[in-house]
Amino acid sequence: MRKFVALLLALVIAVPGVAAAQVANAPVGSEGSPAADTGYFQQTFPVTDHVWVLAEPKFQVQPIGNVTVIEQSDGLVLVDAGGSPGAGRRIVEMVRSLSKKPVKAIFISEWHGDKPQGLSELMKVWPEARTIATRQTQAHLSDPRTMNTPASPDAKRNAEFVKLQSDTAARLETLAGKAKTDADRQGFAAAARMFRQYAIDVDGALTLTTHENFSDRLSIPDRIAPVEAMFLGAANTDGDAVIWLPKQKVLVAGEVVILPFPYGFESYPSGWIDVLKKLSAIKFRILVPGHGLPQHDRRQIDRMAAALKDVRAQVKQLAAQGLSLDQIETRVDLSAQQASFVGTDPWLGRWFKEFWQTPIVVSAYKEATGKPIVQELGG
């Protein structure tokens, strides 16, 4: 199972930036598509006046991050661009259904593949749009050590990557057939259908870096919906962007806040705690997380901060005893966290351990022992 999770991690964190010369449009999320019943396709949720979020309605083994749409007087501002070319094409259709205004700016909140991989499709439709990220995220998007991006489009590699998704779907179907519980049987079967669609969606994937970057703050003024982008410190990545809409009092948190549980891969536990504290001090009415539906309170912020403090305390104490990472992983107890985040759901419990418990313990161990946390695929 750990080898399979390692494969899934590669899919979650970054899609290799490959492109074919021509790709057909992936089918829109509707009847007849492989993942129509899995919740993989983003849906439109109104947030408040002039603000919508295109969100996956429930947790996916291959997450596709939320895209926030902000309507300004003379155009639209998007936060993130979807996790594949297929998602990007669907996002274009969804955005056009909300407003006839052009997209004028697109923020990429972090480098993980579910945020920028639809950008190439959006730029075909709105080529004049500004593309913006923090300085760190912009650098990662152009760095092959992070994104595993070839120097030029490679049709052969594209075909290999598409096949990898189909192979992953086949492996999931096998796991569904061997599952001993209804939760696993249904979960693996739905994940297999989702990966069948993902194989279609990633055809022609290409990583684009942004035209602009910022180190602290960047504003896009407007009389209807002014936008303030902020970098508050390393948290889920070393370059998380947070977007604040002061007039609407909406906070778009990116993957600094995730539901139902956070993803801990190569993250910064102590910095993340500090950033969550800063978010909690903002007087927002609505919080839009990187995954999951809009929230109207601070409960997930508080839950995540408490979880991070708990992990750091446990790992620090065990590391001080001279225990190895392997030994620490067997002794850390996050059962109370699991109950807090996912209750007794056995399917979510499985992925809580793989997406949160295992990677966050690694990061906490690195912090406790003075080892660097490297923002790199497989780092």
Confidence at residue 35, expressed as pLDDT on a 0 to 100 scale? 82
Q: Which domain holds residue 264?
A: 2-149+205-304
More confident residue, 379 or 199: 199
In the chain, the percentage of residues whose pLDDT exceeds 70 is 88
Instruction: For residues 312 and 300, state if they share a domain.
Output: no
Confidence at residue 212, expressed as pLDDT on a 0 to 100 scale? 98
Confidence at residue 379, expressed as pLDDT on a 0 to 100 scale? 36
Average pLDDT, the chain: 90
Confidence at residue 56, expressed as pLDDT on a 0 to 100 scale? 87
pLDDT tens track for 244-303: 999 999 999 999 999 999 999 999 999 999 999 999 999 999 999 999 999 999 999 999
pLDDT tens track for 76-93: 999 999 999 999 999 999
pLDDT tens track for 6-51: 445 444 444 433 333 223 333 444 456 788 788 899 999 999 999 9
Confidence at residue 84, expressed as pLDDT on a 0 to 100 scale? 93
Look at residue 36 and tell me if it is in a domain: yes
148 neighbors 16 (Cβ within 8 angstroms): yes
pLDDT tens track for 197-256: 999 999 998 889 999 999 999 999 999 999 999 999 999 999 999 999 999 999 999 999
More confident residue, 57 or 133: 133
Q: How confident is the model at residue 161 (pLDDT cuts 50, 70, 90)?
A: confident
Alpha-helical segments (H) within 179-268 = 182-201
pLDDT tens track for 187-198: 999 999 999 999
Instruction: For residues 64 and 85, state if they share a domain.
Output: yes
Q: pLDDT at residue 319 above 70? A: yes
Q: Which of 304, 330, 347 is the last residue of a domain?
A: 304
Q: Which of 304, 331, 352 is the last residue of a domain?
A: 304
The edge-to-edge listing of strands for the beta sheet with 227-231 is 217-220, 227-231, 241-245, 250-254, 286-289
Confidence at residue 17, expressed as pLDDT on a 0 to 100 scale? 39
Residue from 201, 64, 81 nearest 130 by CA:
81
Confidence at residue 375, expressed as pLDDT on a 0 to 100 scale? 85
Instruction: For residues 139 and 235, state if they share a domain.
Output: yes
Instruction: For residues 261 and 288, state if they share a domain.
Output: yes
Instruction: For residues 73 and 142, state if they share a domain.
Output: yes
CB atoms near residue 143 (< 10 Å): 16
Question: How many domains is the chain built from?
Answer: 2
Instruction: For residues 128 and 111, state if they share a domain.
Output: yes
110 neighbors 239 (Cβ within 8 angstroms): yes
Look at residue 35 and tell me if it is in a domain: yes
Specify the pairing of strand 212-214 against strand 130-134.
parallel
- With b for 16 or more beta-carbon neighbours within 10 A and e for fewer, the 96-131 pattern comes to eeeeeeebbbbbbbbbbbbbbbbbbbbbebbeebbb
Instruction: For residues 227 and 83, state if they share a domain.
Output: yes
Look at residue 158 and tell me if it is in a domain: no
| Residues 166-175, mean pLDDT to the nearest whole number | 96
Instruction: For residues 298 and 322, state if they share a domain.
Output: no
User: CB-based contacts of 198: which residues, under 8 Å, 6+ apart?
Assistant: 11, 35, 40, 62, 84, 165, 169
Confidence at residue 235, expressed as pLDDT on a 0 to 100 scale? 98
Instruction: For residues 250 and 315, state if they share a domain.
Output: no
Instruction: For residues 240 and 344, state if they share a domain.
Output: no
- Partners of 217 in the β-ladder: 230
Q: What is the CATH number of the domain that holds 85?
A: 3.60.15.10
Specify the pairing of strand 103-107 against strand 130-134.
parallel
Confidence at residue 8, expressed as pLDDT on a 0 to 100 scale? 56
Look at residue 18 and tell me if it is in a domain: yes
Tokens of 109: 């909140």
Instruction: For residues 234 and 359, state if they share a domain.
Output: no
Instruction: For residues 216 and 282, state if they share a domain.
Output: yes
Look at residue 184 and tell me if it is in a domain: no
The span from the CA of 362 to the CA of 264, in Å, is 9
Look at residue 221 and tell me if it is in a domain: yes
Look at residue 125 and tell me if it is in a domain: yes
Q: Could you give the C-alpha distances from 194 to 3, 17, 136, 285, 289, in angstroms and in order?
A: 20, 21, 31, 33, 22
More confident residue, 37 or 372: 372
Q: Which of 280, 304, 328 is the last residue of a domain?
A: 304
